[in-house]
Structure 1
Amino acid sequence: MTKLSVNINKIATLRNARGGNVPDLIQVAKDIERFGAQGITIHPRPDERHIRYQDARDLKKIVTTEYNIEGNPEKSFMDLVLEVKPTQVTLVPDAVDAITSNAGWDTMKHADYLKEIIQELQRNDIRVSVFVDPVLKMIEGAKLINTDRIELYTEAFAHDFSQGNKNGILPYVEAAKLANSLDLGINAGHDLSLDNIHFFKQNIPNLLEVSIGHALIAEAIYLGLDNVVNMYLNKLK
C-alpha cells in the first residue's frame, strides 16, 4: 500500500489567522495519525506564514508515524532539520515569496549543491527526497546526487486529469519506471486529490508515499477529517 502523509500547513494557516491556538496543530496531527494516516508533512517557510519553526520542534515530540519536513535547504532550514531530525527531508526549490511549490529541481545544474546537502542529511540518519518534474534527465540526475527518493511534482498531471486528459499520466509512468530501474524510491505530491489519487496510484509502479495537504483539508471541510483520511487510505490500497 502507498503511504499517506498529510501536510498540515493549512491547519497552521487557519490557526495563524486569529493569532491564538485554534485549531490546535499538535492535536490535529495526533488525530490524523489516529485516523490512520502513516505520516505527517510540514513545509515551513522563512516568514513562518503558516508552519512556525517551533511547530517543527513540537511535532517531533508527538509524531509517531513518519515525519517529513519539506523546504528549500537554505541555512535556517538546514539548521532546523538537523536539530529536529525528522524521518525524511524533502528538498524543494521554492522561492522565499512563492505561494506554493511550482517547479522541481534541475538535478544536473545544481548537482554539486544538492549532493553536499544530501550527504549532510544522510550522515544524520535522515532519509532524503528531492522534488523533481517527470523529466527523465532530472531522474538520472537525482541518481547521480545519491538521494534516497524523488518526489514527483504532480501539478501537471492533476491539471490534465481535471480536463479529462488521462494521457497526462504518461510522463509520470516513464519517470517512475526509470526511477525503479535506478533503485530510487518514489514519492509524489502537489494537487493530488480524492478525484485523481486512485488513478495516479494505479498507474505509478512502486509508489511509496504521497504527501497531500491543500485538497485533503479542503475536502475535510465538507466531509470531515476522519472520513477524508480514510477515503484516501482506501484509494491507496
Structure 2
Amino acid sequence: MPSEISSDDGGLHKSLFDFYMDHKVKCLKRKLSCVGRRNMKLKLSTDFPACSTFTRYSGKFFSGVVDGLCPRYKDVIENYGISCLLSFVRTKVPLRLVKWLACRFDVPSSKFKLKRKFIPLTKYDIQGILDLLVEGEPLVCDPESGHDFILSHANLTSIPPVSFFTNKLKSLEVELPDEDVFICFMIVAFSSFLCPNSSLSPSPKYLHIFRDCRSVCTYDLSQFVLSGF
C-alpha cells in the first residue's frame, strides 16, 4: 500500500510539473512574440520615420488630367514643345517611402543622406527621368509679375485654385484657345506634379513665363524642378 501511494504521488507531482512547465513555455512564447512585434514596429518606425512634409503633390490627379485631354489639346501641348509631360505614367510608390526619402534629402547640397552614404541628385537626373529641358535659360522667380499676369490674362481679382484651371481643360462647353490650353495644363503640371506646394492655388513665382508661351521650352526646367523654386 505505501508503495502504491508513493507511486500515485510521484505521478501527480509529474503531472503538476508538466502542466507548470507547459504553462511557463506558453507564457514565454507570448512574451517573446510581443517583444518581436514591438521590435518590428520600432524598426519600421526607425526606417520610415514620420515626416511633417506636406504638399499638394498627386501623381494620380495629374495622370487623370493627362488621360482626360482631348486630341487637339494634346497636339497643342506638343506643339509648344512639352510633349514629354504627355507621356507621364503614374507609378504607385508607398507614401511612407516617399516621406522617408524626402526626410533624407538635403536641399542645400541636393543629396540624399543614407547613413554614411551621400547620393547626389542633379538636374541631369531630373532630365533623364522626366525628359524635361536642360541647359536652357535659368527660370528666375518673379511672384509679383506672375501674379499680375495671371489676373490680367484670366480677368480675375485673385489667383484661383488649381481646380479652376483643371475644369477649364475638362469643360466641353467652351473650347480654349491654344495659349490658354497650354497655360492651364502647365499650371496643373507645376502645381500637382513638378513643383507642388502646400497651397490649393498655384504659386505665382513662375506664372510670368506664360507671357510668352513659346519661350517656356527655352527654360532650364530640369534645374527649376530640382531647386523646388
Provide the TM-score with structure 2 as the length reference.
Answer: 0.23
TM-score computed with the length of structure 1 as normaliser: 0.23
RCO higher in structure (CA 8 A, sep ≥6): 2
Query: Is the strand fraction higher in 1 or 2?
Result: 1
Name whichever structure is richer in helix by fraction. Answer: 2
